[in-house]
Amino acid sequence: MSNAIIAAWNMSLEGVKAACELLKNGGEAPEAVKKAVNLVEDNPGFSSVGYGGLPNRLGEVELDAAYMDGSTGYYGGILGAKGIANPIDAAIKLSKRHLNCLLSGAGAEQFARIEGLAFKNMLTAESKKKWEEALEKEKTSPGAYRGHDTVCVIVRKDKHIAAGVSTSGLFMKEPGRIGDSPIVGAGLYADSAIGAVSATGHGEDIIRGCLSYEAVRLMEQGRSAQEACKTALAAHIARMKSKGFAIKDVSLVALGADGSFGAATNLKDGEFTFVYADETHPPAVWTISGGVQHIAAR
Amino acid sequence: MSNAIIAAWNMSLEGVKAACELLKNGGEAPEAVKKAVNLVEDNPGFSSVGYGGLPNRLGEVELDAAYMDGSTGYYGGILGAKGIANPIDAAIKLSKRHLNCLLSGAGAEQFARIEGLAFKNMLTAESKKKWEEALEKEKTSPGAYRGHDTVCVIVRKDKHIAAGVSTSGLFMKEPGRIGDSPIVGAGLYADSAIGAVSATGHGEDIIRGCLSYEAVRLMEQGRSAQEACKTALAAHIARMKSKGFAIKDVSLVALGADGSFGAATNLKDGEFTFVYADETHPPAVWTISGGVQHIAAR
């Protein structure tokens, strides 16, 4: 089986390239997830993840991250934490624990300090400026909730699949707001025997559908990664619509243990991008056309 | 279809009785959930929920709660919040929001203050004493993580199903630790067209299996509430076992839109109790015999 990496959004391209190098040099899936996510977290140019992530309504950057190892079933996450330079590193360390593996706020920060992780002020001058501008036009609401572009990375190395996500969440969110990202089953789900899925978009809608879990479950029933993503998203949209509930932006990326990969979105053609690489496909940006019905297939 | 209420643990008996009265007097499912949960939250005799809940390692009572309305698909939750007298009330209020419906820590507390919810010191003298004793025998660990008895209430009134959960989480948990309770799909899931499921036990194991979502999904495929709980739990245990992962205490309760009810546990015979009531069964405590294979059936 070919080793492979898939990651949501074109911002992951450099990270995926670095992770591919790492795999070629003998690195394993967990290290590759960490590498790809770290490069996005560290880049102040990406306004929805890590350093330079856009802040909450109070001007504070609050971070969510999670990691799941598909071979051991272990996962860890942090939510609503501040100042941790690389949130995914805290999530990976927490995934070694059975209990107390999901920590919020000050508890997550204390854990990171004890583990010797780096801290920094995650608000850049650029992010601060965007926040000040948003405060100015405060009442023009929904548009303010842009910037939900979570970094989602899934790596398959040999028979080992691992997934990691990291985000600063919705721009101008309420303080303490938690999205899907740190929640196993919502923001990510990995099972090395089946595959892994990760989600990006409006977390409140993703978590309500347990979308990453549901798509992995569909793969377990024999669907390809692509079919699983499409089916899970379409079914969730239909179910919520039947209740009069219109879900907002949701996109999924997936790798199957069978070698398949896939993605689905309810964004307009071309709006959702992802990065894919395997041993015959060098890292490149892909997109989706035709909404949830079509994909730039292999 | 008969109206019905199911709730985890015998501590819910008085709450279920009060909720039954409320339904008889014309109350609706959401009010009945609130009533049943409030009575458990307010009782200092119950050491794992609300007032009198056992604290974290630092001696602070940290509260998780969630509410889901099966007819609208809306849900809300708070996690790692302190001092909110009735956490379920905050969750119910948050469930009216589409975005920012899941709030952690200080953000949840600020929301509760703005909504005018009551605050109090949730640590009773009795809980403080138990915490001091636990600190004494600190290093005798796992036993310290007792007391995971979340209040889980599901109400079906006419064709409307709603579910609510509230807990102070694991005794002696790490500060900021979050369990399954506030997470939709893990601690609870409700769909009025299908049914609802809620979970109690070691949250880290429940969340990893998306157990409430999975059991509702099995009901959607035609299983009774009882079959769905048994199947979801057994499959999760088997899946994690195949990875060398031994899951800890997990119990589920469920109501089906078809009138069925059920429960499942991996505790020993008689250790898990629940309360059930419908128009022909007055509120009473039930138990499970034979592990996940058997149930005190209707």
The pLDDT tens digits for A225-268 are 999 999 999 999 999 999 998 899 999 999 999 999 999 999 99
Give the least confident one: A114-128, A204-218, B129-143: B129-143
Query: Per-residue confidence at A137, pLDDT binned at 50, 70, 90?
Result: confident
Which residue type is seen at B113? R
Any B CB within 8 A of A141 CB: no
Which chain B residues contact residue A102 at CB under 8 A?
A: 177-179, 204, 207
User: What percentage of chain A carries pLDDT values higher than 90?
Assistant: 87
For chains A and B, what is the number of CB pairs under 8 angstroms? 157
Tokens describing residue B239? 């899946």
If you ran DSSP here, which 8-state letter would residue B174 be given? P
Cα separation, A37 vs A14, whole angstroms: 10
Residue in A with minimal Cα distance to B189: A208
Q: What is the mean pLDDT of residues A139-167?
A: 81
pLDDT the model gives residue A289: 80
pLDDT the model gives residue B293: 57
Q: Are B98 and B73 in contact (CB under 8 A)?
A: no
Any A CB within 8 A of B51 CB: no
Tokens describing residue A229? 């993503």
Any B CB within 8 A of A153 CB: no
The residue behind tokens 């998306």 is: B210
- pTM given for the model: 0.92
Residue A140, pLDDT above cutoff 70: no
B59: closest CA of chain A, how far (Å): 13
Tokens describing residue A132? 């000040």
In chain A, residues 199-218 whose CB comes closer than 8 Å to chain B = 202, 204, 207-208, 210, 213-214, 217
A287 catalytic residue (yes or no): no
Residue B135, pLDDT above cutoff 60: yes
Collapsed DSSP state (helix, strand, coil) of residue B5: strand
Any A CB within 8 A of B241 CB: no
ipTM of the complex, rounded to two decimals: 0.91
Q: Which of B100, B189, B213 sits opposite A174 (nearest CB)?
A: B100
Identify the bridge partners of residue B251 per DSSP, sorted by sequence position: B200, B265
The pLDDT tens digits for A284-294 are 999 988 655 55
Q: Which of A102, A106, A243 sits opposite B71 (nearest CB)?
A: A243
Q: Are A92 and A77 in contact (CB under 8 A)?
A: no
Q: Are B156 and B175 in contact (CB under 8 A)?
A: no
| Residue of A173, A184, A212, A216 best to disrupt the B interface, most CBs of B under 10 A | A184
**CA proximity to B269, closest of B254, B283, B287, B284:** B287
DSSP track, A177-218? B--STTSBTTTEEEETTTEEEEEEE-HHHHHHHTHHHHHHHH
The residue behind tokens 């709660």 is: B65
Tokens describing residue A192? 């090395």
User: What percentage of chain A carries pLDDT values higher than 70?
Assistant: 93
Cα separation, A211 vs A265, whole angstroms: 12
Q: Does domain B4-293 have CATH number 3.60.20.30?
A: yes
Which chain A residues contact residue B170 at CB under 8 A?
A: 99-100
Residue A141, pLDDT above cutoff 60: no
**Side-by-side strand order, sheet with A160-167:** A102-104, A75-81, A63-69, A160-167, A151-157, A4-8, A273-278, A284-287
Q: Are B192 and B159 in contact (CB under 8 A)?
A: yes
CB contact under 8 A, A176 and B103: yes
The residue behind tokens 């974290």 is: B56
CB contact under 8 A, B213 and A104: no
Any A CB within 8 A of B72 CB: yes
Among B150, B167, B265, B273, which one carries the catalytic annotation? Answer: B150
A204: closest CA of chain B, how far (Å): 6
**CA proximity to A188, closest of A169, A170, A208, A162:** A162
Residue A297, pLDDT above cutoff 60: no
The pLDDT tens digits for B39-68 are 999 999 999 999 999 999 999 999 999 999
Q: How far out from the chain centre does Cα B1 lie?
A: 24
